A and B are shown apart, each in its own frame.
Chain A
Amino acid sequence: MFHLAFLVPLFPLIGSIVNGFFGLRIGKKAVGWVACGTVAFSFLVTLLMLGQLLFTPAEERLFEQTLFTWMAAGDFNAAFGFQIDPLSMVMMMVVTGVGFLIHVYSIGYMHDEYSYYRFFAYLNLFMFSMLLLVMGNNFLMMFIGWEGVGLCSYFLIGYYFEKKSACDAGTKAFVMNRVGDFAFLLAIMYIFYLFGTIDYTEVFHAAPEKLILGAEPVTIITLLLFVGATGKSAQIPLYTWLPDAMEGPTPVSALIHAATMVTAGVYMVVRCSVLFNMAPFSMSVVAFIGGGTAIFAATIGMTQFDIKRVLAYSTVSQIGYMFLACGVGAYTAAIFHLVTHAFFKACLFLGSGSVIHGLHGEQDMRKMGDLKKHQPVTYITFLISTLAIAGIFPLSGFFSKDEILYHALMDGNTILWGMGVTGALLTAFYMFRLVFMTFWGESRVDPHVHPHESPKVMTLPLVILAGLAAFGGLLGIPLVHGWHALHNWLEPVLHFDMASTLEHSKHLLHEVGRHAPHWEALLIEPEENIWIEISLMLLSLTVALTGIAGAYFCYVKKPGLPDELIKGQWGYDLVKNKYEVDEFYDATFVEPTIQGSLLLWKKGDAQGIDGAVNGVAQILGWCGQQARVVQSGFVRNYALFMVLGFIMLLFIMFF
């Protein structure tokens, strides 16, 4: 069954081509069928492969399929190949599964759009790129997918290209991603320089033998990789594009900017876990950036009024959690949170889309309220997902977030743990603020707008996703040893022998006559302590409930309270203006770039280069003017010159 792997990305590509080239001719209905059908086929093939992978012994769960040699230049060899292993399988399931539901939802949501086919062509192209990203068996394949999803993200953010803000947001996303992509590319080059190959299996096999634990090369590689991840996954300092990306249609926000693409960075870090394990410094950078982003974005999320922007900051914050998990070495927890986040955040985004659809395009939460009686299905599903993201037992977010917090504490870093807990409190608060402002309280809806429930094609994906958000936590049941299905599943991919790597690194250092630093701390495996885990769970549950209670008090009990609290607070304005980070970037990077470019254009190009070229031409023209008098136009003049010239030649020849 694994030899069918190439079909998984192929189907969406076909769909994209059909919709892109013939979409206008075959009609809306056919476009929808093609788009959803191809993704459904991908999902089915993925399911079949999952089945086979389940029946393969755990240590043999690695299948590689090389379709052809893509490029070979000297020592450099890149294959167009796929790798099916437990990690890519998890990602494929999320991408095709959630992707399929969002495709179906889009049929309803985008129904009144004129360029319906364009939307689905891009969406299918995105699926293709994303599948290349997660299925590739070497870094270059991942990079191609990485660029592909960035491109589709740009297309889809700028889908409403008549709107200037949408175009700007698309450009912003693209340019910010370029910064990260450049670092990623450098990392790939460095990897090739060190290992002579870019194939995952070979690189990760050779890494513990060739590299020295904690030395510069591996640290530089991992830091570059992580910079790449911050671009795609919207982490500090490259996160500002994601909130703006909400200019795109809501299904796009759900698929690309919540469930799949933005988690590509997490996937990449987990994929390169061997390298990250060998670079303790990079690990702490990852953890602190992740934790910092989690809190930072959450605080901004509390002050926004655009329903989608709140969710966008929430996404940034939740991805911060995933990186926090990566940084403390809890890769399983990161992937676990990635999966559950894909479920509940996709559901939340689609739910917000349903609200926006029901209100004919209204996104401002100040003009919502009391929608639960108009949109019961949306409300219920939204509430379930919100409870999940807030971390209420026994919904999925509870398990995944708790696992991250547990590992952060067990790693011995109380600051990181504190960041996580604070983030959890803020998350519960702003998410319930969103729910209360949108679905509860008094209706502030424009009286001309009559809210209505969305059609079945939209609510059905919501219900399924809400179900997944509710029960997805069963993938990783903590406490009971061996019940954590996801942990068992990913174990073969994430396996890393720290002790022998350490010995080998010592050996390598000894050869060059250097002493090994004190690495013994890396070897300490935290003892699993069930009571700590249980008390942590109770604590985070309390924290979540506190957040919810706070939101209830502020937005249902005393709706006027927040306004009074924030009145005249400069801190609030700072947060509401997103800490002025955009302005800061504008002033420090964008403006100088524009001014510098203008200088180069006006002075350097127009005056310097053009001046030089035109100057040469003018000098030559002047010479021509002078020489022109020779050309009198009289034939006999020319003949005279010829004769004179001939006589001169004769003289030269004979004397």
Chain B
Amino acid sequence: MESTVPLSHYLVLSTTLFVIGVLGVLVRRNAIVVFMCIEIMLNAVNISLIAFDRYMNLHTGQVFSFMVMCVAAAEVSVGLAIIISIFRNKPTVNLDEFNIMKW
């Protein structure tokens, strides 16, 4: 391996980003921010996929990351639409205001 940056660095970055994302989802109240945190989590996973791909000389990781991007794009469109309709329903995007999804 010629690479000067070892795999562990990528993985640490990926994990850090993922944990940031998870904590963001759990603690933030703004739906938009929560949404962005989900995106961060997805991208953290992408980083680790690419890193493994590069270091193990596989190509499936790239394909997976493309897949994740596609899903993320689709998710964004649906998710934003949901947030907008939530906002129309009640003039706030504070998630603590929304508990109508219980039975």
Residues of A with Cβ closer than 8 Å to B?
628, 631-636, 639-640, 643
Q: Which of A628, A636, A639, A643 contacts B103 (CB 8 A)?
A: A628
CB–CB B103/A631 < 8 A: yes
How far, in Å, is A521 (CB) from chain B's closest CB?
Answer: 86
Q: List 28 A-B contacts (CB under 8 A).
A: A628-B102, A628-B103, A631-B102, A631-B103, A632-B102, A633-B98, A633-B99, A633-B100, A633-B101, A633-B102, A634-B95, A634-B96, A634-B98, A634-B99, A635-B34, A635-B95, A635-B98, A635-B101, A636-B26, A636-B27, A636-B29, A636-B34, A636-B95, A639-B25, A639-B26, A640-B26, A643-B22, A643-B26
Residues of B with Cβ closer than 8 Å to A?
22, 25-27, 29, 34, 95-96, 98-103
A417 to B95, CA, bound (A): 103
A628 to B99, CA, bound (A): 13
Chain A residues with Cβ below 8 Å from B100 are: 633
Chain B residues with Cβ below 8 Å from A635 are: 34, 95, 98, 101
A628 to B101, CA, bound (A): 12
A635 to B100, CA, bound (A): 10
A634 to B28, CA, bound (A): 12
How far, in Å, is A643 (CB) from chain B's closest CB?
Answer: 6
Chain B residues with Cβ below 8 Å from A634 are: 95-96, 98-99
Chain B residues with Cβ below 8 Å from A636 are: 25-27, 29, 34, 95
- Top 9 closest pairs, chain A to chain B, by CB: A633-B99, A633-B102, A633-B101, A631-B102, A639-B25, A634-B99, A640-B26, A635-B95, A643-B22
A639 to B26, CA, bound (A): 7
A421 to B103, CA, bound (A): 86
A632 to B98, CA, bound (A): 10
A643 to B37, CA, bound (A): 14
Chain B residues with Cβ below 8 Å from A631 are: 102-103
Chain B residues with Cβ below 8 Å from A628 are: 102-103
A640 to B23, CA, bound (A): 9
A639 to B37, CA, bound (A): 12
A117 to B29, CA, bound (A): 79
CB–CB A632/B99 < 8 A: yes
A636 to B100, CA, bound (A): 13
Interface SS of chain A: helix
A198 to B26, CA, bound (A): 80
Chain A residues with Cβ below 8 Å from B34 are: 635-636
Chain A residues with Cβ below 8 Å from B26 are: 636, 639-640, 643
A90 to B100, CA, bound (A): 83
Q: Which chain B residue has the least Cβ–Cβ distance from A646?
A: B22
* A-B contacts besides A632-B102, A634-B96, A639-B25, 10 pairs, CB < 8 Å: A628-B103, A631-B102, A633-B99, A633-B101, A633-B102, A634-B95, A634-B99, A635-B34, A635-B98, A639-B26
How far, in Å, is B33 (CB) from chain A's closest CB?
Answer: 11
Q: Which chain A residue has the least Cβ–Cβ distance from B99?
A: A633
How far, in Å, is B5 (CB) from chain A's closest CB?
Answer: 26
How far, in Å, is B9 (CB) from chain A's closest CB?
Answer: 22
Chain B residues with Cβ below 8 Å from A639 are: 25-26
A640 to B100, CA, bound (A): 18
Q: Which chain A residue has the least Cβ–Cβ distance from B31?
A: A635
Chain A residues with Cβ below 8 Å from B101 are: 633, 635
Chain B residues with Cβ below 8 Å from A643 are: 22, 26
Q: Which chain B residue has the least Cβ–Cβ distance from A639?
A: B25
How far, in Å, is A217 (CB) from chain B's closest CB?
Answer: 67
A300 to B34, CA, bound (A): 95
Q: Which chain A residue has the least Cβ–Cβ distance from B101?
A: A633
How far, in Å, is B73 (CB) from chain A's closest CB?
Answer: 21
How far, in Å, is A553 (CB) from chain B's closest CB?
Answer: 91
A82 to B63, CA, bound (A): 77
A635 to B83, CA, bound (A): 13
How far, in Å, is B39 (CB) from chain A's closest CB?
Answer: 14
How far, in Å, is B32 (CB) from chain A's closest CB?
Answer: 13
Chain B residues with Cβ below 8 Å from A632 are: 99, 102
Chain A residues with Cβ below 8 Å from B29 are: 636
Q: Which chain B residue has the least Cβ–Cβ distance from A629?
A: B102
A310 to B28, CA, bound (A): 97
Chain A residues with Cβ below 8 Å from B99 are: 632-634
Chain B residues with Cβ below 8 Å from A640 are: 26
Q: Which chain A residue has the least Cβ–Cβ distance from B38?
A: A639
A633 to B98, CA, bound (A): 7
Chain A residues with Cβ below 8 Å from B102 are: 628, 631-633
How far, in Å, is A645 (CB) from chain B's closest CB?
Answer: 13
How far, in Å, is B78 (CB) from chain A's closest CB?
Answer: 15
Q: Which chain A residue has the least Cβ–Cβ distance from B22?
A: A643
A639 to B102, CA, bound (A): 14
Q: Which chain B residue has the least Cβ–Cβ distance from A647?
A: B22
How far, in Å, is B57 (CB) from chain A's closest CB?
Answer: 27
How far, in Å, is B97 (CB) from chain A's closest CB?
Answer: 10
How far, in Å, is A620 (CB) from chain B's closest CB?
Answer: 15
How far, in Å, is A136 (CB) from chain B's closest CB?
Answer: 64
How far, in Å, is B99 (CB) from chain A's closest CB?
Answer: 3
A634 to B94, CA, bound (A): 11
Q: Which chain A residue has the least Cβ–Cβ distance from B25?
A: A639
A637 to B85, CA, bound (A): 21
A633 to B103, CA, bound (A): 8
Q: Which chain B residue has the least Cβ–Cβ distance from A640?
A: B26
A123 to B15, CA, bound (A): 89
A636 to B34, CA, bound (A): 9
How far, in Å, is A173 (CB) from chain B's closest CB?
Answer: 57
How far, in Å, is A112 (CB) from chain B's closest CB?
Answer: 66
Chain B residues with Cβ below 8 Å from A633 are: 98-102
A36 to B9, CA, bound (A): 103
A16 to B25, CA, bound (A): 77
Chain A residues with Cβ below 8 Å from B96 are: 634
How far, in Å, is A154 (CB) from chain B's closest CB?
Answer: 53
How far, in Å, is B12 (CB) from chain A's closest CB?
Answer: 17
A635 to B22, CA, bound (A): 13
A194 to B96, CA, bound (A): 81
Q: Which chain A residue has the least Cβ–Cβ distance from B100?
A: A633
A631 to B100, CA, bound (A): 10
A643 to B38, CA, bound (A): 13
A628 to B26, CA, bound (A): 21
A52 to B101, CA, bound (A): 87
How far, in Å, is A88 (CB) from chain B's closest CB?
Answer: 72
A634 to B95, CA, bound (A): 7
How far, in Å, is A631 (CB) from chain B's closest CB?
Answer: 5
How far, in Å, is B36 (CB) from chain A's closest CB?
Answer: 14
A508 to B78, CA, bound (A): 90
How far, in Å, is A325 (CB) from chain B's closest CB?
Answer: 79
A633 to B101, CA, bound (A): 5
A636 to B98, CA, bound (A): 10
